[in-house]
Chains A and B, each alone.
Chain A
Amino acid sequence: MEQKPIQGEKKVFMTGNETVAWAALAAKADIMYGYPITPQNEIMHYWTRLAPKHNRKFLQTEDEISAGFTTVGGVLSGKRAFTATSGPGNVLMQDSLSMAEMMRIPIVMVVTQRGGPSTATVIYSQQETTLTCFGGNGEGIRVVYSTASHQELFDYTIKAFNTAWKYRFPTFVLGDGYQSQMREPLKIYDPDEKGIEFVPAVAQLGVEGEAGVDRDPIHLRNTYNMEDELYEVVRGLVDDFKAVAPEIEEYREQDVDDCEILVVAHGIVSRAVEGAVQQLRREGIKAGSFRPITLRPFPEKHLRRNAEKARKMLIVESAEGQLRRLAADAIYGCQTPMEGLFRPGESITVEEVVQAVKGLL
């Protein structure tokens, strides 16, 4: 029998990209399709080294358009296929992602955000928040996990495959260049031993039996003649998404019970925010934090519950209000004033958050 990629549980110290490659292996991913872009490259580098040892496959495509559509093909054929990209590559993949959204094709995609617009930097940012949540011509019927640590990169990459195949929505792990490139200690493990059950991948094409003889052929389309025909399909998608949203939503809160200033951040920025809240509490300042882990579906009720109790809110992000728009939409009607600490494409420190909160007192 083939050896499991990870036996038991291991303490490791590795980069985020290496972590993702191990997680995809552990999640029984069959094939990766990808195109080089910094800071995503090492996901492919580790995957191409590890995959053949475990009978997994890789295809380097001619561009991200192709990487997205080959991933769609791999998933349609019933394999656990995934891709990873960043920035301009994320832009090019949106066409295939809207197809996946429409046709319930459970593709998994890891996004390692870089600074934009355009080519910009290859380092870090949270400027792909809107794109990842709502890119493509569609309604944003996607699951987006925004991770903050290497442990989460490992856990949520595994989870993404299960979420995708269970609900059949395209599922994203939204990281960034810092998470990709820095090293951090974490535990990697064999998901089977943790009791994580894998939702089986099911073929949407090329199933048992001869079409037209043993069974009807499968005809998959995403083209419609009538407005009403399309509306019905999209309505169904939206309703299905809304129905399972409460099950999928995840968030993390800290010191919210009596907090006066509620600081909201996602992804790696939330680490600075949580550090700042600890420091502020030591100084006797009643700050608390809320971090949406799923940006789609957004944990609306939970943010509202906290926002309504607070005196002021501060949104902190490495983008110019992309999280703010999600938050404002989620708590529409709530009277709590909302301020922003926006640093598009720049990192944010604990001290800066502390200062910004003090400025609101």
Chain B
Amino acid sequence: MSIQPQMPRLWRRETKPHKFCPGCGHPLILKALAEAIDELGIADRTIFGCDIGCSLLSWDFFNLDTVQTHHGRTTPVMVGIKRARPELICIAYMGDGGGYAIGSQHLVNSAVRNENIMAVLANNTVYAMTGGQMAPTTMPDQKTETSPYGRNVKEAGNPTQGPEMVAAIASQDAYVARGTISKLGQLKNFFKKGLKNQMEGKGFSFIEALSACPTNWRTNAEETWNFIEKDMTKYYTVGEIKAPVQDKEG
């Protein structure tokens, strides 16, 4: 019987401990992603791109060729690489600000063009790196530095439901899901399916992961988990949102 290794092979020990705050959701998402890549055996051809936001702290996280880009621009950089070298597997990693606000045009248009890359977005309901401002994903009435009295949906609109939006415009072959750091096994499987979609040339995959930012939420461990598991899931449905037809039948 073989023993399951504790850490994915892609986990680059030389750069650990990692740079994220204790209790942060980013490294959990990255661990699940690393396991998915390991299990698919595609590390030799995978390129990882990270955005500006706390995701940038992953620039030396993996045993993977990696590029840190500008805020919101990781998707086009990875699209550029994939178009030039289709044999590579390209992953764009970003926050909710990067993907749904400043870089939203790239997410929308990459989905429409069915770009054969996988975009992964950490939804922590805030702009974390810049100190906890309101993000597109900030929950109704949630207090942040720029919504100190709570998000007023009349003024700021409803929180962005990214995967639902992408699913509505993406090709029928696209793969779209929302996972959470409270179900890492499921999240890993979503990543695997998204990556397989890319390997098979079916096109765009988009996976949002509900994530935690205890630093900006100013929450302890229990409050953190309650927010992710109870509050966030009221608004953000976890599960597959669009899976290519064949997969659903199979």
Q: Please report A residues at the B interface, Cβ cutoff 8 Å.
A: 30-31, 33, 57, 59, 61-63, 65-66, 69-74, 76-79, 81, 95-96, 99, 203-207, 209-213, 217-223
A residues less than 8 Å from B60 (CB atoms) = 217, 219, 221
CB distance from A178 to the nearest CB of B (A): 31
A residues less than 8 Å from B81 (CB atoms) = 73-74, 76-77, 205-206
B residues less than 8 Å from A221 (CB atoms) = 56, 59-60, 67-68
Q: Indicate if the CB atoms of B43 and A72 lie closer than 8 Å.
A: no
Q: Say whether B64 faces chain A, with CB atoms less than 8 Å apart.
A: yes
Q: How far is the CA of A76 from the CA of B47 in the complex (A)?
A: 11
Q: How far is the CA of A63 from the CA of B84 in the complex (A)?
A: 18
CB distance from B122 to the nearest CB of A (A): 17
Q: Given A206-B65, A211-B63, does the pair A79, B85 have CB atoms closer than 8 Å?
A: yes
Q: Indicate if the CB atoms of B76 and A65 lie closer than 8 Å.
A: yes
Q: How far is the CA of A63 from the CA of B107 in the complex (A)?
A: 12
Q: Given A30-B84, A210-B43, A211-B43, does the pair A69, B69 have CB atoms closer than 8 Å?
A: yes
Q: Indicate if the CB atoms of A223 and B59 lie closer than 8 Å.
A: yes
Q: Say whether B45 faces chain A, with CB atoms less than 8 Å apart.
A: yes
Who on chain B is nearest to A71 by CB? B80
Q: Indicate if the CB atoms of B84 and A31 lie closer than 8 Å.
A: yes
Which residues of chain B in 179-207 are interfacial with respect to chain A, using CB atoms and an 8 Å cutoff? none
Q: Indicate if the CB atoms of B73 and A212 lie closer than 8 Å.
A: no
A residues less than 8 Å from B43 (CB atoms) = 210-213
Q: What 8 A-B pairs are tightest by C-beta distance, nearest first?
A: A73-B80, A212-B63, A70-B80, A62-B109, A69-B76, A74-B84, A210-B44, A73-B81
Who on chain B is nearest to A73 by CB? B80
Q: Indicate if the CB atoms of A74 and B105 lie closer than 8 Å.
A: no
CB distance from B8 to the nearest CB of A (A): 11
A residues less than 8 Å from B79 (CB atoms) = 59, 66, 70, 73
Q: Indicate if the CB atoms of A223 and B84 lie closer than 8 Å.
A: no
A residues less than 8 Å from B56 (CB atoms) = 221, 223
B residues less than 8 Å from A72 (CB atoms) = 69, 77, 80
Q: Please report B residues at the A interface, Cβ cutoff 8 Å.
A: 9-10, 12, 43-45, 47, 52, 56, 59-60, 62-70, 73, 76-85, 88, 105-106, 108-109
CB distance from B119 to the nearest CB of A (A): 14
Question: Total A-B residue pairs with C-beta atoms closer than 8 Å?
Answer: 136
Q: Given A205-B47, A206-B47, A210-B44, does the pair A223, B68 have CB atoms closer than 8 Å?
A: yes
B residues less than 8 Å from A31 (CB atoms) = 83-84
A residues less than 8 Å from B45 (CB atoms) = 206
What are 25 of the A-B contact pairs (CB < 8 Å)? Answer: A66-B105, A69-B70, A73-B82, A73-B83, A76-B67, A76-B80, A77-B47, A77-B81, A78-B84, A99-B69, A206-B65, A206-B85, A207-B65, A211-B44, A212-B9, A212-B64, A213-B43, A213-B44, A217-B12, A217-B60, A217-B65, A217-B66, A220-B59, A221-B60, A223-B52
Who on chain A is nearest to B61 by CB? A219
Q: Indicate if the CB atoms of B65 and A69 lie closer than 8 Å.
A: no
Q: Indicate if the CB atoms of A62 and B83 lie closer than 8 Å.
A: no
A residues less than 8 Å from B76 (CB atoms) = 61, 65-66, 69-70, 73
Q: How far is the CA of A72 from the CA of B70 in the complex (A)?
A: 11
Q: How far is the CA of A78 from the CA of B43 in the complex (A)?
A: 19
Q: Indicate if the CB atoms of A220 and B52 lie closer than 8 Å.
A: no
CB distance from A89 to the nearest CB of B (A): 14
CB distance from A271 to the nearest CB of B (A): 36
Q: Indicate if the CB atoms of A73 and B65 lie closer than 8 Å.
A: no
Q: How far is the CA of A39 from the CA of B76 in the complex (A)?
A: 24
A residues less than 8 Å from B44 (CB atoms) = 209-211, 213
A residues less than 8 Å from B69 (CB atoms) = 69, 72, 99
Q: Indicate if the CB atoms of B62 and A217 lie closer than 8 Å.
A: yes
Instruction: Report which residue of B52, B56, B79 has the largest number of chain A beta carbons within 10 angstroms of its beta carbon.
Output: B79
Q: Indicate if the CB atoms of A77 and B85 lie closer than 8 Å.
A: yes
Q: Indicate if the CB atoms of A220 and B83 lie closer than 8 Å.
A: no
Contact of A211 among B64, B68, B77, B106 (CB under 8 A): B64
Q: Indicate if the CB atoms of A59 and B77 lie closer than 8 Å.
A: no
Q: Indicate if the CB atoms of B84 and A73 lie closer than 8 Å.
A: yes
Who on chain B is nearest to A209 by CB? B44
Q: How far is the CA of A229 from the CA of B63 in the complex (A)?
A: 24
Q: How far is the CA of A95 from the CA of B83 in the complex (A)?
A: 21
CB distance from B83 to the nearest CB of A (A): 5
Instruction: Report which residue of B56, B62, B64 has the largest number of chain A beta carbons within 10 angstroms of its beta carbon.
Output: B64
Q: Indicate if the CB atoms of B78 and A206 lie closer than 8 Å.
A: no
CB distance from B173 to the nearest CB of A (A): 19
Q: Supply 6 further A-B pairs (C-beta < 8 A) apart from A73-B83, A79-B85.
A: A66-B79, A76-B67, A207-B65, A212-B64, A221-B56, A223-B68
